[in-house]
Chain A
Amino acid sequence: MAIELPFEKPLIELRLKIDELKRFTEEKGIDMSEEVATLETKAKSLAEAIYRDLTPWQKVQIARHPERPTTLDYIRGLCDDFVELHGDRSFRDDAAIVGGIGRMEGIAVTFIGTQKGRDTKENIFRNFGMAHPEGYRKALRLMKQAEKFGRPIVTFIDTAGAYPGAAAEERGQGEAIARNLIEMAALTVPVVCVVTGEGGSGGALGLGIGDRILMLEHAYYSVIAPESAAALLWKDATQGQRAADAMCITAQDLFRFGIVDEILQEPFGGAQRDPSVMVATVKEAVWRALLKLKETSEEDLPVLRYEKYRKIGVFTEVEHPSVQTPADGEQVSANGVKLHNFSS
């Protein structure tokens, strides 16, 4: 394995030892197969122990793994004849968001997603998958185009967040995301969103309003990056681990909250271990979701989407609020409606 995560270290060391013994057996002709077998068993149980109960912070690290499949890997794996479409028609093409059209099982589909790079050079080109406003506007253009031609939309989300730069602010990062939220809410074609790695805050949500929300087993989705939360809470960005634990950001948490509809199982150890299996799993789940949504009429889609989000929130409705608006006149009208009169 090319890139190891800190918590995988004991396993990697064990594997190296096994390889060494095997080499020793071959080179020196001394039979060490018994020792190798013992170590193999040990490695297996160690791997089980590590990957069965990953902590939220370990999941964050897996979600950020540079060898995980990227959006373009998924798109190319999901469809035939993919035609990438570029540009927001206003300012420029944002390489941090890719999109285009293709066919899945013969059906035309629009694909959109945030795109990370594999190496430093590509990451600089992709701005590490952190989009500018023009990226969100390109996405919206493709979504409106999909609606025009009655094509379903599949979005892939894997971003640390919308890019926090000066130019992004000048061009209205907030406005661009806000526009996508309200426009996606009203789309009359099915929208399936897949959180494949990092679901970073508003930058993720800007492509994330859909009818079915799927999430990979080790992906995370959060209102704020764990490091940023730690910086705000404890004035210490290195406490990301603590924040990750406190914030309930795993796929399992979100499924429990009813925010995510389905968790997609990753290959043992994470999607990066076997990208082709992961892509196949995503393909199957997306297609299943689309087939299900095919039964819904285009008038009903925005209504059901509304109801889906309408339900989200945790609060209590009390009979008599313990806190009253102070000082200001409070009166009860004839029909029993309580009126607060601030103008008195």
Chain B
Amino acid sequence: MLKDLFPKKKRYATVASSSSARDKVPEGLMEKCKQCGQILFAKELDKQVKTCPHCGYHFTLTAQERIQVTLDEGIFEEFDDNLLSGDPLQFPDYPVRVERSRKATGLADAVVTGAGSIGGFPVVVGAMDSRFIMGSMGSVVGEKLTRAVEQAIERSVPVVIFSVSGGARMQEGIFSLMQMAKVSTALARLAKSRLLYVSVLTHPTTGGVTASFAMQGDINLAEPGATIGFAGRRIIEQTIRQKLPDEFQTAEFVLEHGMIDQVVHRKDLRAMLATILSIHAEGGEWSGNRTAL
């Protein structure tokens, strides 16, 4: 054939790329958006507070990252990083899973609590971490949140909790269920002290965490697209024997159904929290300032 007379010449010299050369690309330099598939530079991603500039997808934040992007630069006073979970039921494999999560996350359990400030307003914060056994709540999470709320009462400052959780931790059985009660009783006390509690629900917040402190905020906010619900999607589909629409149990869905106050893009969240805190700050109360009017 004619084509064979003109063998295709290679126009470039090729060098077989060794795997070791490829490995030299620093890990985490680039990331692929899980929603739109765009390749994003990690630096750019950080500038966008880990949200995709193309489609708005919110990447999961670790507890450390959440605190970093939320609180004012400078001092974060961590509470109770020395609490380690027990194994009250002697549950198969539980200590191994905890240890693995500890190593992987550098955290003692699925929540980091402490004090800091947002826009200059002092707060006590709790930030959960989904890498730690799905961000599930066992005794340590319940205890740390309870102590954090107690600290807020003592210091007379508001509480902000960022939820990301699969719910109560099965491996601690009834103790996990009772943490829902424990944190709730602490938040009831906070309410009695007339202190503000803002709950921020992030992807995903489900089960016993939705059915307790995540839905108990004076103000409930959520990040766009976050899965928020009580029962698991699969269980509901089995119950009603129908496929659920994609938007079911999203932040937008629970906003539409009246369960949260606003869906706030992560880039605006810090400013939103600062505004809410400023409105609740001392000196703004009607009862205390009537004469100023």
Instruction: Indicate which residue in A171, A186, A221, A337 contacts B174 across the interface (CB closer than 8 Å).
Output: A221
Given A259-B178, A302-B188, A318-B82, A177:B211 Cβ within 8 A: yes
A293 / chain B contacts, CB cutoff of 8 Å: none
Chain A: residues with Cβ within 8 Å of the partner, total of 71
Tell whether, in the assembled complex, residue A185 and residue B185 are in contact, meaning their CB atoms are under 8 Å apart: yes
Tell whether, in the assembled complex, residue A202 and residue B64 are in contact, meaning their CB atoms are under 8 Å apart: no
Given A169-B236, A306-B186, A178:B178 Cβ within 8 A: no
Minimum CB–CB distance from B213 to chain A (whole Å) comes to: 7
The closest CB in chain A to the CB of B172 belongs to: A314
Given A174-B229, A246-B92, A342-B64, A310:B146 Cβ within 8 A: yes
Minimum CB–CB distance from B100 to chain A (whole Å) comes to: 12
Given A178-B210, A202-B177, A257-B175, A313:B182 Cβ within 8 A: yes
Tell whether, in the assembled complex, residue B235 and residue A164 are in contact, meaning their CB atoms are under 8 Å apart: yes
For residue A121, CB closer than 8 A to chain B, the reply is: no
B254 / chain A contacts, CB cutoff of 8 Å: 172
Residues from 165 to 192 in A contacting B, C-beta threshold 8 Å:
165-166, 168-175, 177-179, 181-183, 185-186
Tell whether, in the assembled complex, residue A343 and residue B258 are in contact, meaning their CB atoms are under 8 Å apart: no
Tell whether, in the assembled complex, residue A164 and residue B184 are in contact, meaning their CB atoms are under 8 Å apart: no
Minimum CB–CB distance from B264 to chain A (whole Å) comes to: 18
Tell which of A29-37, A61-69, A72-80, A222-230 binds the partner: A222-230
For residue A328, CB closer than 8 A to chain B, the reply is: yes
A48 to B229, CA, bound (A): 46
Tell me how many residue pairs across A and B have CB atoms closer than 8 Å.
Answer: 243
Given A314-B88, A339-B76, A339-B78, A223:B230 Cβ within 8 A: no
B interface vs A, CB < 8 Å?
64-65, 67-68, 71, 73-78, 81-89, 91-92, 102-103, 106-108, 114, 139-140, 142-143, 146, 168-170, 172-182, 184-189, 191-192, 207-208, 210-216, 228-232, 235-236, 239-240, 242, 244, 248-249, 253-254, 257-259
A interface vs B, CB < 8 Å?
162-166, 168-175, 177-179, 181-183, 185-186, 201-202, 205-206, 208-209, 221-224, 228-229, 232-233, 246-249, 253-254, 257, 259, 302, 305-306, 309-310, 312-321, 323-326, 328, 333, 337-343
Sample 14 A-B pairs with CB under 8 A, ordered by A number: A172-B259, A185-B185, A202-B168, A223-B169, A259-B175, A259-B178, A309-B185, A314-B86, A315-B83, A315-B143, A338-B78, A339-B75, A339-B77, A343-B74
Give the 6 A-B residue pairs with the shortest CB-CB distance, closest first.
Answer: A164-B231, A174-B210, A313-B139, A181-B184, A174-B230, A178-B215
